[in-house]
Amino acid sequence: MAGWAFLWGTVSDLIFPIIRRTYRFNNILISNYPFVMKHFTLIVFICGILLHCSPQNQSSIVNPSGESVYERFLPPNGYTRFTVEENSFAQYLRNLDLKPFENRVRYYDNSIKNKPDVYISVIDMDIGNRDLQQCADAVMRLRGEYLYQQKKYDQIHFNHLSDGKPRYFTDYAGGDYSYNRFRKFMDQIFAYANTSSLHDEMISVPIVDMQPGDVFIRKGSPYGHAVIVVDMAESESGGKMYLLAQSYMPAQEIQVLVNRNDRSISPWYELKDAKIFTPEWTFEASDLKRFVE
């Protein structure tokens, strides 16, 4: 019922201004047309059905009860998810757990990010109670968590900003590969690495070759930004779409971004060789990078 009330409001908002405009500019009274007056509600109801059944209606894309990226965000009509390898970074990202749909992003101090038109869901992952896990840090966190889950401890390394050299988890662990030790290592990385250092250790890839796990990243002064591709879908005709996630400043929970520029497919983005307008940053297609395997 609430959905139909929304449709009624939406369609009415579209139709009533037209009626008022018709009256104002053409001096025509709607009351002179009894058929329209008599069947106006039916007309609006039919319009509502047409809107509701539109192939790009967002209700066919977002499943609020879904508990992971894979379950909550369905590909738009005509698209199917990329086939990914078992135990790959891409598989890890699309299976990230999400908090309940109504949850809002929280900052490291537990206050709420009151910008609902930035994100649609929150990744269920702790961020600690210090202002550390910001944008590039979230990307490194996801990469590190995946490698830790796969017990690829020797591959967990990130460059420090000061000298551009990698710091290895195996060196830091000293034989202690517990999750607590891993989290302390990541916090140290967050303190000594940033968008600039991560940018320089990744390799550039053409946007047409985008894969889940790739990162739009831009250095800046005084700061830049980074968002990560957490899933992708493609059509038989070769079209591609992707989902993006980010953290930001101050440190905050990782969030799946909305697509303000095309609400009909949000939160999916259509892959184009053009600027990428995310809610809090604009990237160039050339900003796409990838972790070195």
pLDDT tens sequence across 225-251: 999 999 999 999 999 999 999 999 999
Question: What is the span of the domain harbouring residue 32?
Answer: 2-53
Residue 22 has pLDDT above 50, yes or no: no
pTM exceeds cut of 0.75: yes
Q: For the chain, how many structural domains are there in total?
A: 2
Q: Is the pLDDT of residue 36 over 60?
A: no
Whether residue 211 is contained in a domain is answered as yes
Whether residue 94 sits in one domain with residue 237: yes
Structure tokens at 214: 């790739």
Nearest Cα residue to 217 out of 167, 289, 157: 289
Span of 28-32, 38-42, 180-184, 238-242 with lowest mean pLDDT: 28-32
Instruction: Please list, in sequence order, all residues whose beta carbon lies within 8 angstroms of the beta carbon of residue 104, skipping any fewer than 6 positions away.
Output: 112, 113, 114, 116, 122
178 with 99, same domain: the answer is yes
Contact 249, 135 (CB under 8 A): yes
Burial of 18 (0-12, 13-18, 19+ CB in 10 A): exposed
Tell me the average pLDDT across 179-202.
98
- Copy the structure tokens of residue 120: 């649609």
Same domain, 154 and 275: yes
User: What letter does residue 208 receive in the DSSP assignment?
Assistant: G
Q: Are residues 93 and 226 in the same domain?
A: yes
Whether residue 40 sits in one domain with residue 72:
no
How far apart, in whole angstroms, are the C-alpha atoms of residue 191 and residue 132?
6
Q: How far is CA 62 from CA 125, 244, 266, in A?
A: 21, 15, 9
- Centre a 10 Å sphere on the Cβ of residue 239 and count the other Cβ atoms it contains: 14
